[in-house]
Amino acid sequence: MNLRAFTVAALFSLTIALDAQPVPDAAKPPETAGAWVDLLAAASGWKATVTYDTLTGTGHILRGLDLVRFKVGFPLYSAGAGRVLKAPAVRDAGSRLEIPREAVASIASWFSERDAERASRFSIAAILIDPGHGGKDSGAIAEFGSGKDRLRILEKDVVLSIAGDVFSRLQDRWPDKRILITRSGDTFPSLDARVGMANEISLGINEAIIYVSIHANASFNKSASGYEVWYLNPDYRRTVVDSKKSEGVDENVLPILNAMLEEEYTTESVFLARSILGGLKGGLGDIAVNRGLREEEWFVVRNAKMPSVLVEVGFVTNEAEARKLSDTDHLRKLGDGIYNGIVDFVDYFEHRKGLGSP
Ligand SMILES: [Zn+2]
């Protein structure tokens, strides 16, 4: 189809130039007549533009990403997203297009529906990366070999390096999200301070935060190796509803609300754990053992009122793995894996919770 579209204003100057027949005043309702509105005036009220094709008698009203199509004399408007608005038709009044007030009202309410829908979309507004231990608390420590093969490895250093990498990559990817890290040097924030940092972030109604704690493992079994991701045991009952934020809420409702939120956080924590595990598997391939998902009641995970997981990047007590964990390339791969897992989760979460196409 050869669809030539003009803006209405351009179109009418063209029409008038080609066809100078004056429109009889009687056929033209007064500007303010009750039933009809100038389509361009209605559109400018919506900050929309109008395009109209005289050959087919069709046109559209475009407002941001919302497009409403109309056909002169046809009492249906196609509003996109599978929606058809039934309203009296647009008419061609010669010098301008006119739209019945009833149709103006339907289109206006469709636009506000779309606005409300967009405003209700969920987003991960903040991501808190928590490298475990630090400062006086070295976490797991191991020593191997002697001479130039001597290796002394501290969990706090391994996890800080990986976490810093994940943190800066997330910042680059999402400058609009709040990306935080519990420590950026060799310091020791208390567990309460770490969790507090996460819980104090103020979020909008449809915003969420995720918490990713990064640790390295130790075992008496020197052959144990590999990475794993922990999430909270779903049987553990948490108080996830913040009492300060629920003032005025019927106290009988709180336990129910709490259970609902808890359920949601647990489900999301499992998804987040699974995404990160998938990211690590993709990034490391066969060079490290995938020990899978684990459930536990870690302090930081238990007290974070949000989807949260704890990643164990490997065993410092296994010599071969400890040597990898002191290699910057390997650390970068671990960082890549965690980063990719977080990105997958955020994409999934934001789209699953979205209410359809833009
Ligand atoms: Zn640890």
Asked if the model's pLDDT at residue 314 lies above 90, the reply is: yes
Asked if the model's pLDDT at residue 166 lies above 80, the reply is: yes
How much distance in Å is there from the Cα of 92 to the middle of ligand 1?
73
Query: Per residue in 264-304, pLDDT tens?
Result: 677 788 889 999 999 999 999 999 999 998 886 666 656 66
Please state, for a pLDDT cut of 70, what percent of the chain lies above it: 76
Task: Provide mean pLDDT across the span 173-190.
Answer: 94
Domain with CATH 3.30.457.10 in the chain: 6-119
How much distance in Å is there from the Cα of 217 to the middle of ligand 1?
7
Strands (E), the chain: 6-7, 36-38, 49-53, 58-63, 66-71, 74-80, 83-86, 91-92, 97-100, 123-131, 141-144, 151-154, 178-181, 207-217, 227-232, 290-296, 308-315
Give 211: exposed, middle or buried? Use CB within 10 Å, 0-12, 13-18, 19+.
buried
How much distance in Å is there from the Cα of 72 to the middle of ligand 1?
69
Global pTM reads: 0.65
Domain with CATH 3.40.630.40 in the chain: 123-352
Query: Per residue in 340-351, pLDDT tens?
Result: 999 999 988 887
How much distance in Å is there from the Cα of 233 to the middle of ligand 1?
18
How much distance in Å is there from the Cα of 135 to the middle of ligand 1?
13
Asked if the model's pLDDT at residue 55 lies above 80, the reply is: yes
The count of other CB atoms within 10 Å of the CB of residue 10 is 12
Helix (H, G, I), strand (E, B) or coil at 183: coil
CATH class of 6-119: alpha beta
Structure tokens at 170: 């997330």
How much distance in Å is there from the Cα of 335 to the middle of ligand 1?
16
How much distance in Å is there from the Cα of 156 to the middle of ligand 1?
8
- Which carries the bigger pLDDT value, residue 162 or residue 237? 162
**Which whole-number Å values give the CA distances from 147 to 42, 143, 152, 158, 320, in the listed order?**
82, 12, 12, 22, 17
Mean pLDDT, rounded, of the chain: 82
pLDDT of 39 reads 96
Q: Which residues surround ligand 1, an ion (CB under 5 A)?
A: 132, 139, 215
Assigned CATH topology for domain 123-352: Aminopeptidase (3.40.630)
